[in-house]
Structure 1
Amino acid sequence: MASSLPRLHAVMVPIPAQGHINPFFHLAKLLAARGFFVTFINTKWTEERIFRPPNDATAISSRLQQQGMHFRFLSLPDGLPPHHPRLLIIHEFFQAIQKLSPAMVRLLQNTADEAPPITCMIADSLFACTEEVATVLGVPRAIFWTFSCSASIALTNSRFLFDKGLIPVNVKEAQRPENLITCLPGNIPPVKPTDLIIFFRSKSDPMFDIFLYVSDKQKKADYMLVNTFDELEGPGDVTGLSNGCPVLTVGPVFFPEFLQASDSSVNISTSLWEDDLDCLKWLDTQEPLSVLYISFGSIAVMSIEQLQELALGLEASQQPFLWVVRIDIADGHAAVLPEGFSERVNGRGMLVDWSPQLKVLAHPSVGGFLTHNGWNSTLESISMGVPMIGWPLWAEQYHNTRLCKEIWKIGMDIESRLEDDTVLVTREEVEKVVRMMMMTGDEGSDFRKRALKLKEAARRAVKAGGSSHGNLDKFTQDMIGIANSLSI
């Protein structure tokens, strides 16, 4: 960027959860590479878990500086007691973080001398209180959607759906074709009521009113960025998000760095767990496209009974698998797997606490992904050309699962869960769907052919001349215009 141009400064505020911090940090690096000074705000609770020695915030800032990217990391208390389980009691977590606007304003005002004047705030779509922060600071607020475009449209129109009586969702009637939701803006596929974020299934859910409030604040954005790409969800879809403001697809935000990875790249893990790199060596010993990768993300939990049924289904399938069994996956506690399970699957299956997911999905031995269909995992799988088995658990994951199965046709699902999210998925159903996926896991499968086409489309989108690359350039130019107007 020429020295005559104004110095851009973006304040980036993700929800303090791993699945949101991760894409925010990737987007931050893409903007920093375009000349932005980035202030990245975490809560102290997440900062202490993400920036582990020797990679503390100061060290990471220094490494980024060496790459020509100007960052500073700030943090503030989230207002919860130290031992509060955060997202495991999600309504208390959200109630706390939506009260952070005064503290955030003070933090930015007290550190104003350390950075150029703020050009814009880029806030998580779920961080509603940032609307007040941007207003006090007198800067535009861009919302960054870490969901699919169609799920984002459904969420930002929650108040509209409530006023029309479409939420709370009647789950028993949701599967009827006549109950498809076709009144949402944008050229998105019809939405099943059960595709909507799971908190809207009961008015008594404390998250129900919280998300209605959040959706009201989403409507007040000055700009919107979406972690998707035009070839996956077209420009016609994206227009449904606009309240009159610009909306740009900029994803997959992780992909440019992945494609350009080298020993000199600035890599930082936003994981609350340590990656088990031994799993990559184990994958090296497996046949191409033979391994089913299983992970349910960083938050979702299951009952011990469900984990045991899943384990026995994997065992019965006779398929090689790599399974991420988080230390808190069993309703916040360590998993208790069937007696003798580890010994019986030894050599064919590998269990880890956490994995370097992108490297796993890119490995030639991986032929399928059993996933909760969180948007990060879904987009990563698409970008690596890996077909999916969807096992949605909460949030907007049911929406993503249906997109993969019915719209993009790159996966299957656990059918019993779509009809009843409280059902115990049996070992027999697990065995059946795993066999079906992995038996068609060769290069000739229709799932894989379509997934590989989307992989190439994602690659084109983030490279120079691609839609997402061009949209980030456009956003940068728009912010230069704003900076110029602010300096007059």
Structure 2
Amino acid sequence: MKKSLAELVFIPLPFWSHLNPAIEVAKLLIKHDHRLSITMLLMKSPTMDSKLDSHIESLASSKSDRLNFIILPCHYPSSQTTTMTSFVEHQKPHVKNFVSKLIDSTRLAGFVVDLVCTSMMEVAKEFGIPYYVLSTASSASASLMFHLQALYDECNIDFAELKNNRDGELVLPSFMNPVPIRVLPDMMLDKAEFSLFINYFRSTREAKGIIINTFVELESHVLRSLFDDKRLPPVYTVGPIVNLPSDVGSGGENNDSDEMIKWLDDQPPSSVVFLCFGNLGTFSEGQVKEIACALENSGIRFLWSLRQRPSDGKNSITPSSYTDSTDVLPYGFLNRTAEIGKVIGWAPQAAILAHRAIGGFVSHCGWNSTLESLWFGVPVATWPLYSEQQFNAFELVKELGLAVEIKLDYVMDSMDQTVVSAREIEMGIRKVMEHDSNVRKRVQEISEKGRKALMDGGSSFISLSRLINDVIENIS
């Protein structure tokens, strides 16, 4: 049976924001077509994230029809001295070894590699196998980087120099509004990191196709520019791919999950604002106090996922829950807000966003979180922290009208970072909780369109079918 199936090899990046979408895309592919089988090659976390590594081990030990997980050997240099590029490079011999054995027993139809793992394309080329690139970010982020890469190669424009013009703007063919330089991805302003990403996108142009977790109805203007670019391979939109509540439970300290859901059950519909800032999001003690003051002054019901930074000297970069959050919160805050709010550690984000009591989401604007909020029809108040999140926030607020602004250009741990005031935060919370706002209506409309996109005849359903047909043709 295995020999008659078209086999895809997935190589995701071992970070929650990359791994989970890759798994969901794989599940979607095999659900969509019985002729496909997928093997996912898993790398252990280079950041010493013990919870992620435990999750990876549980995947490898699980049984799934036509979806197999293999953990690659992980004897690589210390995470403190290796770059992401060298980390991925270190895995290439192990991938070659695995694929050389796989070829004898399967009809290998292609690789699907994370955009940051594009050096694995060399392995695919060595075996004469087609390869596709999976982008877990927005199509706007991909369009931005393709545009900058073309300008860098063809016009010798080095955008790392933009850091000297933070008040300037950039005109992009895929955006209707000029983009402030201060909201561009932070890696663009670092010469070495910018060079790395330029290489990633240069390599991506050579792929058989680009798979993006988005849908046409959400990013129509951007996607038109990608579809029309003859210098790019075919672009396949397969989203919105989200972690539905039944799939949640990995990745956190979920001992209190039942208690927080039970608390939400007792709240009125759309009455609670949810604050959650991703797997890496943390704030200084001064900023935590401003958030607390904003919540207390607003009088709005809240559920706040509050995390602390790793202790100095630890290898892990992953935040953890506070043993006692009263150490960083204003004196008496928990007692004064006991009737309207709850401060928690790790949060089962999808399960919370799906709850009828949630009316707004203060978010870091990671793309996976953005798609989850849209899927469940919950409007966002933007508070980006790092990577391309500021760019996502700008797209949501200014281009798409799907979010309200707390900040667009906040950068976690920035040298010139200022504390966002309680007044600014309270204003954002009040806006996102308005029940008859245009933003809320727009989010509800996009939520419905996103669900329809995945149904038979929907835009992503059709795009997924085209992708599968292309994969099958590889072995015909």
Q: TM-score normalised by the shorter chain: which range applies?
A: 0.7 to 0.9
Match of 1:43 in 2: 43
Q: Is the 8 A contact 1:222 1:245 kept in 2?
A: yes
Contact kept? 2:166, 2:182, Cα under 8 Å: yes
2:295 to 306, 310, 314: 314
One of 192, 195, 206 as aligned partner of 1:209:
195
* 1:31 and 2:29 are equivalent in the alignment: yes
Q: Give me the whole-angstrom Cα distance separating, in 2, the residues matched to 1:303 and 1:241.
A: 44
Equivalent AA in structure 2 for residue 477 of structure 1: N
Question: Is 1:414 aligned to residue 406 of structure 2?
Answer: yes
Aligned position for 2:58: 56
**1:293 and 2:274 correspond:** yes
Contact 1:306 1:425 in 2 (8 A): yes
* 2:314 aligned partner: none
Q: Compared with structure 1, are the counterparts of its residues 424 and 456 closer, same or farther at alpha carbon in structure 2 (3 Å cutoff)? A: same
Q: Which residue of 2 aligns with 1:14?
A: 12
Deviation readout 1:289-322 (Å, 9 max, x if unpaired): 1111111111233333322322222222221111
Decide whether the 8 Å contact of 2:213 with 2:238 is kept in 1: yes
| 163-172 vs 459-468, greater mean Cα deviation | 163-172
Tell me the secondary structure at the aligned position of residue 117 of structure 2: coil
SS at match of 1:483: coil
The yes-or-no answer on 1:470 pairing with 2:465 is: no
Q: TM-score, normalised by structure 1?
A: 0.83
Post-superposition offset of 1:59: 4.6
Contact 1:302–1:329 under 8 Å retained in 2: no
Q: Secondary structure at the match of 1:170?
A: helix
Query: Does the 8 A contact of 2:252 with 2:346 survive in 1?
Result: no
* Number of equivalent positions: 453
Quote the residue 1:369 is aligned against.
361
Secondary structure of the equivalent of 1:56?
A: helix
Distance of 1:311 and 1:466 partners within structure 2: 43
Aligned pairs for 1:128-139 (under 5 A) are: 128-139=118-129
Amino acid at match of 2:88: I
Query: Which is worse superposed, 379-388 or 210-219?
Result: 210-219
Taking the aligned partners of 1:280 and 1:17, their CA distance within structure 2 comes to 26
Q: Which residue in the other structure is 1:196 paired with?
A: 184
Alignment deviations for residues 228-271 of structure 1 (CA, whole Å, 9 cap, x no partner): 0011122414326663421111101237xx4xx8xxx7x47552
Q: CA deviation at 1:58?
A: 5.1
Which shifted more, 458-467 or 469-478? Answer: 469-478
The C-alpha deviation readout for 1:121-161, integer Å capped at 9, x for no partner, is 11111112111121122211101111111111112344334
1:271 paired with 2:247, answer no
> What do you get for the CA RMSD once the two structures are aligned?
3.1
Alpha-carbon shift at residue 199 of structure 1 (Å): 1.2
Match of 1:20, SS state, is: helix
Tell me what 2:304 maps to. Answer: 323
Q: Does 1:100 align with 2:91?
A: yes
SS across alignment from 2:287: helix
Work out whether residues 9 and 38 of structure 2, in 8 Å CA contact, stay in contact via their aligned partners in 1. yes
How far did residue 56 of structure 1 move?
2.5
The 10-residue stretch of structure 1 (427-436 or 362-371) with the greater mean CA deviation from structure 2:
427-436
Tell whether 2:442 aligns with 1:454: no
Deviation of the 1:221 alpha carbon: 1.5
Cα shift at 1:362: 1.6
What is the alpha-carbon distance in structure 2 between the residues aligned to residue 202 and residue 462 of structure 1?
38
Report deviation, 1:219: 2.3
TM-aligned CA distance change 1:324 to 1:112, over 3 Å: farther
Structure 1: runs of 5+ lacking an equivalent: none
Separation (CA, whole Å) in 2 of partners of 1:400 and 1:54? 28
Q: Is the 8 A contact 2:380 2:402 kept in 1?
A: yes
Preserved CA contact (<8 Å) 2:365 2:392: yes
CA contact (8 A) 1:225 1:247 kept: yes
Q: 2:238 aligns with which of 233, 247, 250?
A: 250
Aligned to 2:391: 399
What residue ranges of structure 2 are gaps of 5+ in the alignment?
312-316
TM-score by length of 2: 0.85
1:160 aligned partner, one-letter code: A
Aligned in 2, Cα 1:299/1:340: closer, same or farther, shift over 3 Å? Answer: same
- The answer on whether the counterparts of 2:277 and 2:364 sit within 8 Å (CA) in structure 1 is yes
Q: Closer, same or farther in 2 for the Cα pair 1:241/1:17, shift >3 Å?
A: farther
In the alignment, is the contact (CA less than 8 A) between 2:146 and 2:201 conserved in 1? Answer: yes
Is 2:238–2:460's contact at 8 Å kept on the other side of the alignment? yes
* 2:284 is aligned with 1:303: yes
> Equivalent residue of 1:122, what SS?
strand
What's 1:180 paired with? 170
